[in-house]
Amino acid sequence: MGKLFDTGAQYPPANTIERLAKYYRGRKIFDGKQAEVLERASEILKDTPHAPQLEKLYIAVNVIDVLVTKVADLMFGESPIYESGLPDSSPQQQRLNSIVEENDLNQLGHELVIGAGIRGDAWIKTYYAVRQDLSEVPTDDDGNPLITAQPEPIIEAVDPAYVFPELSRGSRKRFKAVNIAWVEWVVDKDGEEIPYLNVERHVPGFIMYDRFKLAPKGVDTTYDAPIQTFTILERVPTGRDSDLVETGLTWIPVFHVPYKTVDDDWQGISGIEKLESVLAAINDRLVQIDYILWKHSDPTAYGPDLGEAETRFSGRYIPVDKNDVTPGYMTWDSQLDGAFKELDILLGLVFQMSETPQWLFGTTLSEDKGGTGTSHTDGVAIKARFMPILSKIKRIRVHVDRAFRDALWTAMALENYANEGVDGFEPYEPVYPTIAWRDGIPKDLKEEAEIMAIRLNGKPTLDVQSAIKRMDEVDDEKALEIMRRIEDDEKKANGFVDSSIFNTD
């Protein structure tokens, strides 16, 4: 079946434990477990001189979430335009628009970028099948579902923890096979849960399916994450009609979307792993602030003996007289200020290492760290101030662009192969599409129009259909419909006959 998964082998393979542990740690950091700290601190600080620092505390707790999500927001906040390079009426452009819309490609892309930022890797696969899950639909006497659905091209994300590629000989980047393998727990007739391994092995032209029974082996914590391991036992039937499916492709329909890569490894580098030590220090500061607030929220008081044991206006009361040594304790203001000051420095490092201006979130943590982002309002100045994160987005977009174009091209190829000779299907030649991306930052449209008018001496630079597509963020079909409505309105407005034609000399 394959070198990675066979009887007697370990799942997951030993050389993948470090990668899976990185995925686990990244997700835990992204989820953030400091919410309780924030709630307690917010309640205590709200009526104190430190109340303005609540915003800093909020950013510290949620810093990774907002940093990772902001990249996806800018990349897919404005929908990219997918073009076949052929006329809008061509079957290629029409099918391209349909595949993009039916698969919610922009939402998929937004989720992929966030996922890749957490783990470093994201994967998508393209296949031709029925989109709806009909497994729970009632069946007739022959076992056929009472409702049917037509197969269609599907582009969907795959959990990177289930993907195990095999490198081509002598290459660090090319894959000879991509295995998608996951554990399924099945309850037997005795109520016992039995683990099974489902394997979907992709090679050029074919998909091979297999299924094994597993035996739990242990938990590997070598890389600070609990990764459960199994021993692969005997092969069992998959339950499929055929365990070998021909795709008609000369390439593998599973595509890698890394966050950042280097030239000697296929694995992606996440937006979290380089920050783990700094994030650990931030977490320490949050715990310290929480402890200080908890320790001194109900401080011990001292003063004259009031003679009443039940008299209390603080945590504890120590009665003293004029001959006693006055007790005291260290004030906590300086400790809290120091903790916040170090938190400020650590957050600044996180933003710097993430190539993200602090003012992008509508605020800054201190006056000398990047300004507010509102001192310049013209388009060129704003774009210049966005340069660090725009460069980062362009780097990530290279990988998304390639994977999306490969997936769309594959979807068209699979559709034609699956419907070869089918009545009612009109075959077409698949084309490799292009994607017009937007940078997501605000534009000064008046400034752009004035520059174009000057450079081109007032000549038009955009046709009506393209203008509608870009301004309203719609596809070709909707843009044409809007144009038809505009033409109808013009005919109605200009359709009355001028009464002067009835005048005679």
pLDDT grade, residue 237 (50/70/90)? very high
The Cα–Cα gap between 441 and 347 comes to 24
457: left (phi over 0), alpha (psi -120 to 50) or beta: left
| pTM, 2 dp | 0.77
Q: How confident is the model at residue 18, as a pLDDT?
A: 95
- 471, pLDDT greater than 90: no
Q: How confident is the model at residue 370, as a pLDDT?
A: 45
- 304, pLDDT greater than 70: no
300, 315 Cβ separation under 8 angstroms: yes
Q: In a 3-state reduction of DSSP, which class is residue 205? A: coil
Mean pLDDT throughout 46-64? 60
More confident residue, 167 or 474: 167
Specify which of 179-193, 243-257, 350-364 reaches the highest per-range mean pLDDT: 243-257
62-103 per-position pLDDT tens digit: 678 888 888 899 899 888 999 998 988 899 999 999 999 999
Q: How confident is the model at residue 445, as a pLDDT?
A: 67
Contacts of 272 by beta carbon, 8 Å cutoff, 6+ apart: 25, 26, 29, 30, 64, 68, 117, 118, 279
Q: How confident is the model at residue 295, as a pLDDT?
A: 62
- 143, pLDDT greater than 70: yes
- 322, pLDDT greater than 70: no
Mean pLDDT throughout 452-479? 75
Which of 34-38, 136-140, 190-194, 347-351 has the lowest average pLDDT? 34-38
Q: How confident is the model at residue 122, as a pLDDT?
A: 96
- 505, pLDDT greater than 50: yes
Long-range contacts of 298-304 (CB under 8 A, 24+ apart): 299/329, 300/329, 302/326, 302/327, 302/328
Check whether the bond before 12 is cis (ω within 30° of 0): yes
Give me the percent of the chain exceeding a pLDDT of 70. Answer: 74
pLDDT grade, residue 371 (50/70/90)? very low
CB atoms closer than 10 angstroms to residue 402: 14
pLDDT grade, residue 488 (50/70/90)? confident
Mean pLDDT throughout 44-72? 67
Structure tokens at 157: 């994300």
Cα torsion 309, 313, 319, 323: sign: negative
307, 63 Cβ separation under 8 angstroms: no
Contacts of 17 by beta carbon, 8 Å cutoff, 6+ apart: 220, 222, 223, 227, 229
The Cα–Cα gap between 345 and 347 comes to 5
User: Where does residue 491 rank: exposed (0-12), middle (13-18), buried (19+ CB within 10 A)?
Assistant: exposed
- 293, pLDDT greater than 60: yes
What crossing angle do the helices spanning 276-296 and 333-353 adopt, rounded to 10°?
Answer: 160
Structure tokens at 398: 């290279």
pLDDT grade, residue 207 (50/70/90)? very high
Cα torsion 263, 70, 162, 244: sign: negative
Specify which of 41-55, 69-83, 356-370 reaches the highest per-range mean pLDDT: 69-83
Residue with tokens 């004035």: 450
Mean pLDDT of the chain: 80
- 153, pLDDT greater than 80: yes
Q: How confident is the model at residue 162, as a pLDDT?
A: 97
Q: How confident is the model at residue 148, as a pLDDT?
A: 84
